[in-house]
Structure 1
Amino acid sequence: MSGFAYLVHDERVDAAPPDGALTQSCAFAWIHLDGRTDETTAWIQGRARLDPLVAGALVATESRPRTEFVNGGALVNLRGRSSEEMRASDPLASLRLWAEKGRVISVSRLPLVALPAVRAAIEAGRIRDPGDLIAALASAITADLDPEVGELGDRLDDCEEMIDGDKTVELRRTVAKARSQAIGYRRFVAPQRLALERLAETEADWLDEADRRHLREAADRAARMTEELESIRERAALIHEALTDLRAETIDSRSLIIAIVAMIFLPLTFITGLLGMNVQGIPYAEEPWAFWGVVALCLALALGVAAYFIREHWVSH
């Protein structure tokens, strides 16, 4: 019988048919489950009748992008953006898939942004077999992530233009955040490219040439994003170093100004301190012009020290 059926994040795992019954009446079935529930774990490890290696990988807490071939099927782990907030160290949510002829079982612990577009493609009749589904998922995930990577690059472009401004602290935070995101994305995008390339090379009968072409295109896009993320990471490091140097120069400049002011007032402080002692014998203490004489002497000394610093180019900048 032609046609297909699918379940998307059905909270009643028992609705998913046991023992491959769905694939007996349909050409293709996609069973997508929420990996956070105990019912999902029980169904995958029991009624789904999967290889223990496959079942364990589908419900594992931690995963990284990869492709493994088991008994004619493919175990595929992908990573994509989630609609829920993620940690900076783990910014992409996992999607674990078991694909075999006539059936795909997928598990995610968090909702992926790319899934609604794939579901719409199934409802429109554009996905007819496991190869179409995996190719569509890979394309949707990379298409969703690509603008995010581009936005990181644009953010660094803005930071480079503002590097000579007076918002150093804000720039350092922006650059640090962009660098952290780039590192987090690259951690999963780079192995995801390898996983897609390996999947595209398999000889599985449920993958046709069009599916392989789409997988290679998604892998190429992931490779380009990997290169862009590497560039973003290096640029962020350079901008951070430039901001650090700029901050050091600012501190040195201010320290030099403080030192110059201290040097100018040092002899003046000595003179005023000497003449301010409450002892007998201070010269010209009773003269009416003595105060203005001391002021003039202090001004002359200050101007002399300042002129020396200018001549030596200490304050040329």
Structure 2
Amino acid sequence: MRCVAFLAGDGPARRIGREEAAAYRGPGFVWLHAENGVDEEVQLLAGEEDMPDVAASALVATETRPRCDRISDGALVNLRGLAEAGVESTDRLVSIRFWVRHGKITSVCRRPMAATATVVKEMEAGSILDPGDLVAAFARTISRELDPQVADLGDQLDDCETELETRSIYRLRARIAGIRVEAIAYRRFVAPDRDALVSLAAMGFDWLAEEDQLHIRDAADRFARMAEELEAVRERAALLHEQLTDLRAEQLDTRSLIIAIVALIFLPLTFVTGLLGMNVRGIPYAQEPWAFWGVVAFCTAIGLVIAAYFARLHWFRR
């Protein structure tokens, strides 16, 4: 578990200890952040004196969805974003929970989030000076990192449409199904991320400057666009899946038709050869030297006549 505290204000942020963070009442703001999911540390953060029970419960919850709730002069904000590379998670996006009030932010990630390192760099560079800047930075970074992932799903689906006539239907169906599952999993959290940020921007906290509200609305707009694109990907994947199902049914019909034509051509030939192949006396021309080739010619003629009949009915082009 990593638990760090930052003091930011006038100039670059610096790391401080937990005791200093708890006692600090000066200018600027303190960000107390824990990640990687050890319950003891999370419970310790949730037990701070200035934290309401609702916020404490939200920080220690094992399962969350994006939300934004006002509690007095503070905000409880949950967002979802991409995990750090190599982090295993049952969900496509991992959560970060904020309890934000004037002068202090407490946040928890049970699994490391990719956006955290970027925000920490911005904070250490001195571009984050208040709680509103920090929340806006997370919203902006999460949406920017997720945008290429969503766009890539659309590109993969475009490739599937291009390769529809050239690749194996069975492998293409599996790929399209995977894209659809990814789109559904992303959309499960992208749309609530948008709603949470829209709600936060509209609450008008004194620690949320107008510029921060603009950044948050911009991130919310990006999430809205991603939600629309994910919905389009899901619908297109469903249509492609139906098209592949139709193509598969057409292939099966064509193969069944070919089998039926071959069976119908050989059915009378089998009857003739079976009749002449009986081990009884009296079969005509059994002792003639030309009898075998005569039977072959007769069967060939019958086969050609039946094939011509099916060709006239256009069965071979169905």
**Equivalent residues in 2 for 1:281-300, closer than 5 Å:** 281-300=282-301
Q: Which residue of 1 aligns with 2:18?
A: 16
Is 2:101 the partner of 1:85?
no
TM-score, with normalisation over the residues of structure 2?
0.93
Give the equivalent residue in structure 1 for 2:63.
Answer: 62
Superposition deviation, residue 41 in structure 1 = 2.7
Give 1:114 deviation, angstroms: 1.2
Partner residue, 2:131: 130
Partners of 1:107 and 1:98 lie apart in 2 by 9
Partner residue in 2 for 1:177: 178
CA contact (8 A) 2:13 2:124 kept: no
- Aligned pairs for 1:154-303 within 5 A: 154-303=155-304
Q: Distance in 1 between matches of 2:130 and 2:311?
A: 80
Contact 2:184 2:230 in 1 (8 A): yes
Aligned letter for 1:31? Answer: L
CA gap of 1:160–1:98, structure 2 versus 1, over 3 A, is same
Alpha carbons 1:28, 1:128 under 8 Å: kept: yes
Aligned to 2:312: 311
3-state SS of 1:163 partner: helix
**1:147 and 2:122 correspond:** no
Distance 2:54 2:38 in 1: 20
8 Å contact from structure 2 (residues 42, 108) kept in 1 = no
- 3-state DSSP class of the match of 1:211? helix
Distance 2:160 2:36 in 1: 40
| CA pair 166-263 structure 1, distance change in 2 beyond 3 A | farther
**Cα distance, 1:78–1:176 mapped onto 2, change above 3 Å:** same
Runs of at least 5 residues in structure 2 that lack an aligned partner in the other structure: 1-7
The percentage of counterpart residues that share the same residue type is 54
Asked if the contact 1:34–1:40 (Cα under 8 Å) also holds between the matched residues in 2, the reply is: no
| 2:36–2:112 contact (8 Å) kept in structure 1 | no
What amino acid does structure 2 have at the position aligned with 1:304?
Answer: V
State the SS of the aligned residue for 2:34. strand
> 1:182 is aligned with what amino acid?
A
Q: Give the aligned partner of residue 72 of structure 2.
A: 71
Q: Which residue of 2 aligns with 1:98?
A: 99
Gaps of 5+ in 1: 9-14
- TM score, norm. by length of structure 1: 0.93
The answer (yes or no) to whether the contact 1:18–1:48 under 8 Å persists in 2 is: no
Q: Which residue identity is paired with 2:214? A: R
Q: Which residue of 1 aligns with 2:3?
A: none
Change (3 A) 1:169 1:207: same
Rounded to whole Å, the distance in 1 between the matches of 2:29 and 2:151 is 36
User: Contact (CA 8 Å) 1:7, 1:32: kept in 2 or not?
Assistant: no
Distance 1:103 1:252, change over 3 A: same
Distance 1:153 1:245 in 2: 22
Could you say what the CA RMSD is over the residues aligned between the two structures, in angstroms?
A: 1.7
Deviates more, 1:170-179 or 1:150-159: 170-179
Query: Counterpart in 2 of 1:11?
Result: none
- What is the distance in 2 between the residues matched to 1:78 and 1:164? 41
SS of match in other structure, 2:222: helix
